[in-house]
Amino acid sequence: MTESVTCEYFLKNNHSLKKFIDDNKGEKFVLVTSGGTRVPIEKNTVRFIDNFSTGKRGSSSAEYFLQNDYFVIFFYRDTSLKPFDRSIEKMFDHLKVNNDNMLAFDGIDKTKQQKFLNILSLKNKYKKNLFLISFTELFEYYEALKVILSILRPLKKDVIIYLAAAVSDFYIDEKHMADHKIQSRNGEILLKLTPFKKGDIIELLCGSKENFLVTFKLETDEELLYSKSKKSFEYYNHQVVIGNILSRRSKEVILYTPKEKGELSETIINLSKEETEKNVDIEEKIVKYLCEIHNKYRC
Amino acid sequence: MTESVTCEYFLKNNHSLKKFIDDNKGEKFVLVTSGGTRVPIEKNTVRFIDNFSTGKRGSSSAEYFLQNDYFVIFFYRDTSLKPFDRSIEKMFDHLKVNNDNMLAFDGIDKTKQQKFLNILSLKNKYKKNLFLISFTELFEYYEALKVILSILRPLKKDVIIYLAAAVSDFYIDEKHMADHKIQSRNGEILLKLTPFKKGDIIELLCGSKENFLVTFKLETDEELLYSKSKKSFEYYNHQVVIGNILSRRSKEVILYTPKEKGELSETIINLSKEETEKNVDIEEKIVKYLCEIHNKYRC
């Protein structure tokens, strides 16, 4: 079975992650963060601010890292997609119980059946190479990330930190937070969003200098992408920033790496028409490219 | 197969729902709404306000309505739980592909296997009695609800309208909405939440006078529950309001029905210690109780 813990449990007891790393000494590791973080609006939380992320990028990237012989620590939002499950979820709609009281496919052809079986086989093949930790809220994410990074730090160049989670830049300060569910009868409401302190994040990541750091930028405004990615390199000791424009993120990304004088090299990874038709995941190409750079970095 | 459409499709083409109703003339129907509605913060939506709802109440209620011989229109948030799936999701972790290239259980005992098989059998048994429509955002929810109610209205007393979805009371007016992803570099941000016009909802529901109307109230503050439920009866032509306190909603609800002089009768439905230990769903008891009242109402 894949080891699986919640953030809450992990913050009290992290020896199973340490064991996962010890048991696989000498291997390559990757931390994949995935999904969005929740920011509560009320102390007794009924409502929260969230992010469109389904965790598709993180979960499919994790699958390809596994298939590239990485051991994966998958740190994901409890409601978002898990590796492999995203592709077999629909299997439920095509299963029945047959006369022998056994599971059987129903109403789909052999090719589709085989596709499901192949993914299930992959899931089982790699289950011991995968370690799951789930989070829900922004502050929980940061607390646990701090601990995970400190455990991974000694792996030095053998670990990729791949921060695909869509982490909120804002939170609602407790002093501005209602105790109970906000009532609508009182008319319009102003919510005060406080930007998360960049300093805390920089400090967190700067401790992991030797690890191979990949972060993501997502914008809807194309003009901001280069300049904001450049800023990222000034803050952290980065290897790669993966730039996304919301509307075409599943078909094209820009990989930024350092060039000279603070400028960035841009490598565009995209899907050809043929690949799009064949439902190729862009993450397969992103991960392949990163594995190549990471291998060079390790030497 | 269960018929399944998105809101977007349904708003353009609703003949399949009409057919579902025509094909099952003379039967009892229920509309179950489920999950939370999303309220976008930006026009190019990256962030939104959401609600803690997992859709557990709606999805399990739908299961019990099906088992009580109702035909169910399940109007649910695209990311929330679907009937039966909530109980078999974990099945993935216990499946493998065996040597004959067939699906087989792995690492769980016969009792647990049988439990999964039973639920899968139920899912298949009722698949033609279930019609799925998925929504994402608040305004989409209202637009489609309007159409669904108008289609169900002629069923008169034969239909229960069971509004279990956690619908946002607020939205962000387009004129206060940023075009692009809000940037955090500019410091604190004020979000203006506009209460949704109660009048629109009242008008929407008052048209369905003869249908059997069940709505939900969820509060974190116990003192508000009775008074707010009472208000609901003043607004709509109600049969039942189901009151929930956030912290114990899975173990206890209060069913409010009209008494006299505008006061309400309260019926508490809760799980005994024994039932809790046996993982009985409180929705099984709620639905059983409602079916009894609805049967009387039909006569």
Query: What pLDDT, in 10s, does the model give residues B180-211?
Result: 666 656 677 788 888 887 777 778 888 888 99
Decide if A190 contacts B195 (C-beta within 8 A).
no
Among B51, B74, B72, B82, residue whose Cα is nearest residue B218:
B51
In this structure, what token pair is assigned to residue A211?
A: 């690890």
DSSP string for B10-27:
HHH--HHHHHHHHHTTTS
First to last CA, chain B: 33
| Distance (Å) of CA B205 to CA B50, B132, B213 | 23, 21, 9
Sequence-ordered alpha helix ranges (H) in chain A:
7-12, 15-23, 56-67, 85-88, 110-125, 138-152, 198-206, 223-235, 273-277, 282-298
Q: Does the distance separating the beta carbons of B2 and A181 come in below 8 Å?
A: no
**ipTM score:** 0.80
- String of b and e for B58-76 (b: at least 16 CB within 10 Å)? bbbbbbbbbebebbbbbbb
The residues, any chain, with a CB within 8 Å of residue A1's CB and separated by 6 or more, are A127, B93, B107
Please state whether beta strands A130-135 and A159-163 pair in parallel, antiparallel, or not at all (unpaired).
unpaired
Q: What is the residue-averaged pLDDT of chain B?
A: 90
Which stretches of chain B are assigned E, i.e. beta strand? 3-6, 28-34, 39-40, 47-51, 70-77, 95-97, 103-105, 130-135, 159-163, 170-171, 189-195, 212-219, 240-245, 252-258, 264-270
Bridge partners (DSSP) listed for residue B75: B33, B133
Among B84, B70, B74, B71, residue whose Cα is nearest residue B121:
B84
For residue B176, pLDDT over 80 is answered with no
Work out the average pLDDT over B101-119.
Answer: 92
Q: Where is A5: in which H helix or E strand?
A: strand A3-6
pLDDT of residue A179: 65
Decide if A270 contacts A264 (C-beta within 8 A).
no
Q: Does the distance separating the beta carbons of B170 and A218 come in below 8 Å?
A: no
Taking each continuous run of H as one helix and of E as one strand, the counts in chain A are 10, 15
Q: Where are the domains of chain B?
A: 1-83+129-210, 217-298
Q: Does B184 touch chain A (CB under 8 A)?
A: yes
- String of b and e for A55-82 (b: at least 16 CB within 10 Å)? bbbbbbbbbbbbebebbbbbbbbebbbb
Q: Does B88 touch chain A (CB under 8 A)?
A: yes
Nearest Cβ partner of B117 from A101, A124, A247? Answer: A101
Work out the average pLDDT over B54-83.
Answer: 95
In this structure, what token pair is assigned to residue B8?
A: 């977007």
Q: Does the distance separating the beta carbons of A180 and B220 come in below 8 Å?
A: yes
Rg (CA), chain B: 21
Decide if B102 contacts A133 (C-beta within 8 A).
no
pLDDT of residue A82: 93
pLDDT of residue B163: 95
Work out the average pLDDT over B75-84.
Answer: 93
- Least confident window among A147-156, B172-181, B281-290: B172-181
* Measured distance CA(A127)–CA(B106) in Å, rounded: 13
pLDDT of residue A34: 97
Residue B2: list chain A partners with CB under 8 A: 93
Q: Does the distance separating the beta carbons of B193 and A46 come in below 8 Å?
A: no
Among B161, B159, B154, residue whose Cα is nearest residue B298:
B159
Nearest Cβ partner of B50 from A50, A193, A247? Answer: A50
Backbone angles phi, psi at B147, to 5 degrees: -70, -45
Residue B46: list chain A partners with CB under 8 A: 51-52, 166, 218, 220, 246
* Measured distance CA(A23)–CA(A228) in Å, rounded: 39
The residue behind tokens 């050809």 is: A272
- Among B61-70, B222-231, B232-241, the range of highest mean pLDDT: B61-70
3-class DSSP assignment, residue B80: coil
In this structure, what token pair is assigned to residue A183?
A: 């009532």
* Other CB atoms within 10 A of residue A294 CB: 23
Q: How many residues does chain B have?
A: 299
Q: B120-160 pLDDT, tens per residue? A: 999 999 999 999 999 999 999 999 999 999 999 999 999 99
Decide if B282 contacts B252 (C-beta within 8 A).
yes
In this structure, what token pair is assigned to residue B71?
A: 């035909």
Residue B101: list chain A partners with CB under 8 A: 117
* Measured distance CA(A90)–CA(A95) in Å, rounded: 10
Maximum Cα interatomic distance, chain B, rounded to a whole number of Å: 70
Residue ranges of B 25-64 with Cβ closer than 8 A to chain A = 41-42, 44-52, 54
- At the top level of CATH, the class of B1-83+129-210 is alpha beta
- Residue from A3, A98, A188, A227 to probe the interface with B (highest B Cβ count within 10 Å): A188
Per-residue pLDDT tens digits of chain A, which is 299 residues long: 789 999 999 999 999 999 999 999 999 999 999 999 999 887 766 788 888 788 999 999 999 999 999 999 999 999 899 999 887 878 888 999 998 888 999 989 999 999 999 999 999 999 999 999 999 999 999 999 999 999 999 999 999 999 999 988 888 888 777 666 666 566 777 888 888 877 777 788 888 889 999 999 988 877 888 998 988 888 877 899 999 888 888 899 999 999 888 889 999 999 999 999 999 999 999 999 999 999 999 98
* Measured distance CA(B32)–CA(B43) in Å, rounded: 30
% of residues, chain B, pLDDT over 70: 96
